[in-house]
Amino acid sequence: MAPQADTATQARLATYSKNNCPQCSEWLLAPDWSEYLNDRCVRHTWSCEACGYQFETAVFFAQAA
């Protein structure tokens, strides 16, 4: 059985690896702005301090069962 610290570290690393600038690959901590659009969609705006690139992403959630 793996200790909880190892599991938590793996989950944290899996999440952090998704927050990279698509232009220069610099790691991004958090979006500049998040906007709730509806029950299933949240839009995020991002900007990279390293290269100045700005972009948006959207997260779509599954419909409630």
Per CATH, the number for 4-60 is 2.20.25
pLDDT tens per residue, range 35-65: 999 999 999 999 999 999 999 999 999 987 7
3-state SS, 4-60, equals: HHHHHHHHHHHHHCCCECCCCCCECCCCCEEEEEECCEEEEEEECCCCCCEEEEEEE
Could you tell me the pLDDT band of residue 9, with boundaries at 50, 70 and 90? low
Q: Maximum distance among all alpha carbons in the chain?
A: 44
